[in-house]
Amino acid sequence: MGIDLHLTSKHTIVIKNSFKLNAKSLYIHCRSKDNNIGQHWLAVGQTIAWSFHRHELSKSKTVFHCYAQWGNKIKRFNAYEFDSTTKHRRYDEGRVTWFLGENGLRAVETVPKDNKEWELTKLNWD
């Protein structure tokens, strides 16, 4: 029995419109070098999510860049950057959720295996 050199871990990214009730939709567009998640308009409370597998032994870094706009609030940010966004998960499945609201953007990592959450970062709108 040999070692499988193609081990991958599943990463899930969630973006949630956490603004208070308002008629405006949140515009979000995310992409990596290889994947375009597309343009989305999220009503209050709505989310978009995507999952991907990254080869753990690969030397290339996976980065998902996002552009968000809500009225005159705009932000460009990295929704996922391997070795930077995720802090606590290595080979198990986990999730990074971005909450976008009036006071800025907040990223939280959840590891379902032990049901723990860690706040990763807070960003202000530009």
Domain ranges of the chain: 8-123
pLDDT: is 53 or 34 the higher one? 34
Higher pLDDT, 107 or 34: 107
* 8-123 CATH: 2.60.40
- The span from the CA of 101 to the CA of 79, in Å, is 15
Buried b (16+ CB within 10 A) or exposed e, 52-80: beeeeeeeeebebebebbbeebebebebb
Residue 5 banded pLDDT, cuts 50, 70, 90: very low
pTM of the model: 0.81
> Closest Cα partner for 28 from 11, 8, 43?
43
